[in-house]
Every structure is written in C-alpha cells, then in structure tokens.
C-alpha cells in the first residue's frame, strides 16, 4: 500500500522532537507539504523541515507557545498562509507531568489543560473553516493510554488525555457528514528523548529488556510506528474510520492486569470437570 498526498497541506504540532517530528517526516515521505510546529527548541523542527524539503516537498518550521492563546491563533494563520490551506491537522503537541494528587498545584492544572487541551481545541476551531471551504479534511489528535488506564501520580496528565478522547468523539460526529474525519491515537510506551531527560540514569539496554519482559509485542514502540498510523488515518484508505481512538501500545492495554507472565502456560486448569 502506497499512500500519496500530492502536496496536501499538513500542520503537525509539537514536531520538533520525538513522535511529532517523525509524523511530520512521514507525511513528507508521502508527498505532503508540511509545517513543523515547535515551542522551545527550534533545532529539531528546522532540521526536520530541511529533510522534508530534500524529499521534494514544501516545508517550514514555525514556533508558537501553546500556553499563549494569541500564539495558537497566529500559528493557524501562518500555517495556512505557507501551505495555501491546511488539509490535515495533527494535534500532537503536549506536555507530560506526574505528581502526587495532593501536591498538585492550581498553576500546574492550568498549564497542562492550556497546552494539552485548549491549544489543540482552539487550533482545530481555526483550521476547520478552511477545510469546509475546500470540501473536506482530516484531523488526528494524539492522546495516550493514560486516558484509558490508571497510573499513580498521573491524575492531572491523564485527565487531559481523557478529555482529548472525549472531545475527539463528539467533534467527529459534528463534521463527519461534511467530509472532515476526526480520530485520535493513543500511544503506549514509545521511546523518545523525553525518557532520557525524565528518567534518572536511563539506559537503552535496560529499557529494551524491560519492554521485552512487560510488553506482549516484546519491544518498546518507535515514533515511526505512530507516524505510519497517523498517515494511514488521514488517508483515503481510512475513509470509514470516524471518531475512533486507535490504541498503539504493543498489546499493553489488551493484557489483563491480573495475568501472570504471559509467556508461561497457566498452571491452573479451570473447567476440567466439563471435559
């Protein structure tokens, strides 16, 4: 299956590093013109745009602080001006955070919901009118398995990810009949640079072993895994997929939490009396 976007305009937020950068590059590999949005560090987005242009597409890196509403609005205008119009929007930008519930502060609550929920919601509001005028489009929102399963010290972060899942579903119902498809992706363990920054003494070999031991797929995920899914969901091949949150986690959420080692046969034999 070869997906070709033929210079459709794609805006990918949070495309300076990790998953967002790889999503933007995968769209460029599929022939789309791409805007790489970044917030703090421009290097990854600028180099990504350079790689994309080497593939024969138009690409640019644009900055916006997603905690500032005026910068979100400006990004929508700048991206539409550069691309001609935004045919595809990937709401990937977000910040992660963990802290015990009783220690969480109001300013942290405000910041996470501003960046993870309000920014993408507002950006979508700015982009959809152009899609309607063009006759359609596609939107993909990045959430997380934290929005589906519980993890200690993640109540605030998980709340933002659950909100994305809920509003994706409702928004999709509003625009499906107008040829705008909206879906979400919920990644599990995807190893990105943030792991090295957040985990003291992060060791790639140890992480690989931990993933082998705990994830049914026997490996951690790669940004490219998510990028390929995002490209598929925004292509005509996925034209009947609407309002869904697609989990990409190597089987993590499919595994029952009470299960023993999934590589070892069960010692218990339930229902033997029926045989």
Count of the separate structural domains present in the chain = 1
Assess if residue 155 is contained within a domain: yes
149 found inside a domain: yes
CATH number where 50 lies:
3.40.50.720
Tens digit of each residue's pLDDT (9 = 90 or more) over 213-266: 889 999 989 999 999 999 999 999 999 999 999 999 999 999 888 777 777 877
Domain that holds residue 37: 9-192+219-253
Q: What is the pLDDT of residues 115-165, one digit of tens each?
A: 999 999 999 999 999 999 999 999 999 999 999 999 999 999 999 999 999
Residue 83 counted as domain residue: yes
Q: Out of 113, 121, 157, 237, which one is annotated catalytic?
A: 157
User: Does residue 260 lie in a domain region?
Assistant: no
pTM: 0.93
**DSSP per-residue letters across the chain:** -----TT-EEEETT-SSHHHHHHHHHHHHTT-EEEEEESS--HHHHHHHHHHHHTTS-EEEEE--TTSHHHHHHHHHHHHHHHSS-SEEEE---------GGG--HHHHHHHHIIIIIHHHHHHHHHHHHHHHHT-EEEEEE--GGGTS--TT-HHHHHHHHHHHHHHHHHHHHHGGGTEEEEEEEE--B--HHHHHHSTT--HHHHHHHHHHH-TTSS-B-HHHHHHHHHHHTSGGGTT--S-EEEESTTTTTS-TT---TTS--S--TTGGG-
**Looking at the domain assignment, is residue 212 inside a domain?**
no
157 is catalytic: yes
Q: Assess if residue 67 is contained within a domain.
A: yes
Residue 261 resides in a domain: no
Query: What is the predicted pLDDT for the residue at 204?
Result: 77
In a domain, 201, yes or no: no
- For the stretch 157-210, pLDDT in tens is 999 999 999 999 999 999 999 999 999 999 999 988 766 666 676 777 887 888
């Amino acid at each position: 299956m070869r997906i070709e976007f033929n210079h459709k305009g794609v805006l990918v937020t949070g495309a300076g590093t990790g998953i967002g950068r790889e999503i933007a590059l995968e769209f460029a590999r599929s022939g789309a013109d791409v805007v790489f949005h970044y917030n703090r560090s421009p290097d990854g987005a600028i180099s990504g745009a350079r790689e994309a242009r080497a593939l024969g597409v138009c690409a640019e890196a644009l900055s916006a602080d997603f905690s500032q509403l005026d910068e979100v609005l400006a990004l929508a205008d700048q991206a539409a001006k550069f691309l001609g119009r935004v045919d595809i929007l990937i709401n990937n930008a977000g910040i992660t955070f963990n802290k015990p519930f009783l220690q969480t502060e109001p300013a942290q609550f405000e910041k996470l919901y501003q960046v993870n929920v309000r920014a993408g919601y507002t950006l979508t509001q700015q982009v959809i009118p152009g899609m309607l005028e063009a006759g359609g489009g596609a939107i993909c929102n990045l959430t997380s398995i934290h929005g589906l399963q519980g993890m200690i010290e993640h109540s605030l972060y998980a709340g933002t990810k659950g909100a994305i899942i809920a509003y994706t579903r409702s928004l999709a119902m509003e625009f499906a009949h107008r040829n705008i498809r909206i879906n979400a992706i919920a990644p599990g363990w995807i190893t990105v640079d943030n792991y090295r920054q957040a985990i003291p003494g992060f060791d790639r070999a140890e992480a690989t072993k931990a993933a082998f031991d705990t994830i049914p797929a026997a490996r951690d995920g790669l940004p490219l895994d998510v990028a390929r899914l995002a490209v598929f969901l925004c292509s005509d091949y996925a034209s009947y997929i609407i309002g869904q949150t697609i989990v990409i986690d190597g089987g993590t959420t499919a595994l029952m939490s009470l299960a023993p080692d999934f590589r070892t046969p069960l010692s218990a034999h339930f229902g033997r009396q029926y045989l």
